[in-house]
Chains A and B, each alone.
Chain A
Amino acid sequence: MMRRLALLPLGLLLAYLAVVPLILLGLASLKPEGFLDDEGWTFDNWRAVYLGPQLWPMLGNTLVFALGSTAAALLLGTLLAWLVERTDLPGRGLVRVMIILPLATPPLLLAIAWVLLLSPRTGFFNFALMGALGLDRAPFDIFSMGGMVFVETMVLLPSVYLMLAPAFRNMDPNLEHAAFVSGASVWTVVTRIVLPLLRPAILAAAVFMLIVCLVVFDVPGTIGMPVRIFVVSSLVYIWAAESPTGLPLYGRIAALAVLFVVVLLALALVYQLLSLQGQRFATISGKGYRPRPMPLGRWRWAAFAGVWTYFFLATIAPLAVLLVTSLLPFQTRITWEVLDRLTLDHHLAFLGNPRLLTAVRNTAIIALVSASLVALLSLLVSWAVVRSRAPGRRIIDLLAFLPLGIPGVMIGVGLITVYLTFTWIPIYGTIWILVVAYVTTFLAYGTRTTNGVLVQLHRDIEEAASVAGAGYWTVLRRIVLPLALPAVIAVWVWVFAHAARELSTALMLHGRHNTVISTLMWNFWSGGDGPRAAAVGVWLMLALFLLVGLWQLLVRRQERA
């Protein structure tokens, strides 16, 4: 009974975070212009979205983009997680940092960097290859569906890795060992033992990435839109920011978002059916084990080279091109000649900006608080969902996941409406409204990750503790938390990096007192100062690189201990 009551505040909090925007979404879709104060009710927005000419032609592109990016990120992310966590890949500590580092790159900057590298007319790689191979036309064109999928894969890959690595790490190697002893090949072990055991974590990552791909706009907006490759999120952008009526078409966006939410619910239910089925996936039991890495043999160094190729494409090349651009007076094709014109002006201007200190402080507070809250709530939600038998636990799981399907612009509209109405919670225009937004949005990632790990914990450990007299919170604090700690820390770092680099919601909720680094960067970019925006991006990435590096140092120290 007590356990069930303990779920109540958690459920109420999640309902507040998820259901309020959802209700506002429904109401907005039925208002003539999508504002709650509009007079009258109408189905015009639904008709315009689902019977109009704009949506359906974009669905094909959207599916190709979302499925392509998700599949590629999942495939590569799973491979990398397996290589790092389960094999004798050389320099695994360093490789782990290399995989996660791109997390620090804002997707907008990554897209811009790849335009600078692979544009058919000015791309650095294209020109280098044309010169080296004697080609008369550029071999790559970033302005294509392939380009969009490639860059989005780079954006998603660290997240996939972070979701899967703890699950790989927690797998009892005795199962693989037994299979090898019985004469199974590597392929058989991977397909018959490793992947089936990791199904909850892989499914969670797949569902999460698919929904993310449906709503993201940075990459499609920068790479696809200039050449008329429109996806559904392009439509959301046009209706929100460039509506021909002079006011945003929130009603239509809300009606469209219902489609996202339905897709998300369907995927979430599939995930629940396939993964939350008792003890089938539990691999951590009361019996101790020592991780034994699988020998890669002659593939060891080939795998290491592959990881380096990824690191080059995801981090070194984009960072280098942004660094050079930040040192140029204006954005131009990078050649040996332009290196004569390098200047530190943009970096000095950024470092001397009077709003810098405020923006750094705001960013740090928002990222710290959001990351800590999401990590804590994710653990509590997952424990409730995976462990308790209370009615409504699956609803709690859905509530934590739902906001992912709501476009950021509608979360922003919802939060503005809520906190302009509940003025006794004075957070409108402050950093705290951003914290609420990020906790709401990023909780979906946090719970997918911690769900995947808690499913692996066998009940016998907790039951043994209970038999020995440990209470509910003692079991959580002394048993569950230490075992789930790698995943909880991974969630914390992921949310910190995303909250620090996030732009769309920060712009939507920008007010008098909540300037952050990403909006400062946007200030430069949208004001025609691309190199100065690149300078801000370089500093932001270096700061986040430092954080990720420190985290990995701590992990290594913990592993050695």
Chain B
Amino acid sequence: MIRPTGPVPRRLFLAGAAALAAAPARAQNAAMEDLARAAARESGPCVWYESSPQEQTDRVIAAFNRRYPNVRVQHVRLVGGVDIAARMVQEARTPGQSADIASVSADQIWNLNRRNLLAQVEWQRLGASAQQAPVPFTVNIAAAAYVIVYNTAMVTGDAVPRGWDDLLNPRWQGRTGTWLISHPFAQLTKAWDEARATAFTERYARLNPMLFRSTFTLAQQIAAGELPIGLGLWHASQPVIARGAPVALVPLEPTVTTSIWTAVARNAPNPNSARLFVAWLLTPEGARAYEDATQRGSALVQGTRTAEMLAGKTVVEYGPEETEVFSRNLARFNEVLKAGGREAG
């Protein structure tokens, strides 16, 4: 800590220190204001490809427009990250047709950057932390966390799970479910060694879990009583919980997440609007608006529910630069799940 020395008056020193501390914030504010002025001059609207329902993203855009009323953003919902990435690749062939912003997972953003489709931006100059913007082509705006989802009317007392190992209890034979794609299992190799993660996945697959196309469907089936328990996503379980379904969630240690990486297209028709909107999503105001609407929050922004939930937990996830390893694990574990625990050829 810097302390006043010599004849400098204490009040003057404190004012100077405060000014020094505020300087980056002022610079960021100034950069954002400049960006807002440039964005307001763009023809717009700035098109954002993201996979949340529009009823949710309407609320995010409304919150953004309360701060920046002259910048138009339009959300287009595509089915999922793979679809968004494919559309970005296809649209890149035609100038002016590209979306401005894409929000996808780490492997998809890595592929888009590999194809030189993303703008390189000094995100930290716009207020992003190093964790939020570890590379210039993308920022981490939020994360979806895997949890155990169970039906409180069907799972009681000692049967209530507490962690990963409880998912393997033989009592769940044929009575558990998860996402068709082995994302959480493939991510586990980051926390555990590969042999342990593989053994865990094979044992889970031998329980003959139902495999759903979406973790929202999984949560619905658990709410309906079709299954007592499953490995799902925190945000995907919120709709049924909010409507009063007998569903509860158990956070896991280590916690596996899938982050939402957001980038501006290299040929974005409205690049300033796009940068402004993405930079705003990284602010506490933007992060809370996104979390309130989609239930997916940023663990990297203090004050979000996600940051509170993940405080003290070991969070594991492969980053964009580790895509090759992750994709290989994912393909292998997908086959294990599909084959019901038998290692497929």
Q: Which residues of A contact B (CB under 8 A)?
A: 35-37, 53, 119, 121-122, 143, 221, 225-228, 230, 237-238, 240-248, 250, 329-333, 353, 355, 413, 416-417, 420-421, 423, 428, 507-508, 510-512, 523-530
Contact = CB atoms under 8 A, between A and B. Distances in A.
B16 interface: no
Interface stretch (B74-82, B139-147, B193-201): B74-82
28 contacts: A35-B86, A143-B210, A225-B211, A226-B177, A226-B212, A238-B180, A240-B82, A241-B80, A241-B82, A244-B327, A246-B85, A246-B105, A246-B107, A246-B110, A247-B89, A330-B243, A331-B223, A333-B224, A413-B86, A413-B90, A416-B90, A417-B93, A510-B76, A512-B76, A527-B52, A527-B53, A528-B238, A530-B220
B87 interface: yes
Contact of A227 (B54, B82, B91, B210): B210
Interface in B61-93: 74, 76-83, 85-87, 89-93
B216 A526 contact: yes
Task: Bin chain B's interface residue count.
Answer: 35 or more
Nearest to B333: A244
A523 B110 contact: no
Nearest to B223: A330
Interface SS majority for chain A: loop
Given A226-B177, A246-B111, A527-B216, A421 B94 contact: yes
Contact of B97 (A250, A423, A507): A423
Contacts of B323: 246
A250 B245 contact: no
B61 to A, nearest CB: 13
Contacts of A331: 220, 223-224, 240
A446 B147 CA distance: 49
Most chain A CB inside 10 Å of its own CB: which residue of B86, B217, B327, B340: B86
A528 B216 CA distance: 5
A36 B90 CA distance: 9
Contacts of A507: 78-79, 83
Interface of B: 47, 52-56, 74, 76-83, 85-87, 89-94, 97, 105, 107-108, 110-111, 177, 180-181, 210-214, 216-217, 219-220, 223-227, 236, 238-240, 243-245, 323, 327, 330-331, 334, 338, 340, 344-345
A238 B52 CA distance: 20
Contacts of B219: 528
Contacts of A329: 243-245
B180 A225 contact: yes
Nearest to B76: A512
Contacts of B338: 228, 230
A248 to B, nearest CB: 5
Nearest to B181: A242
Contacts of A237: 213
B82 A246 contact: yes
Contacts of A241: 79-80, 82-83
A227 B82 CA distance: 24
A428 B93 CA distance: 13
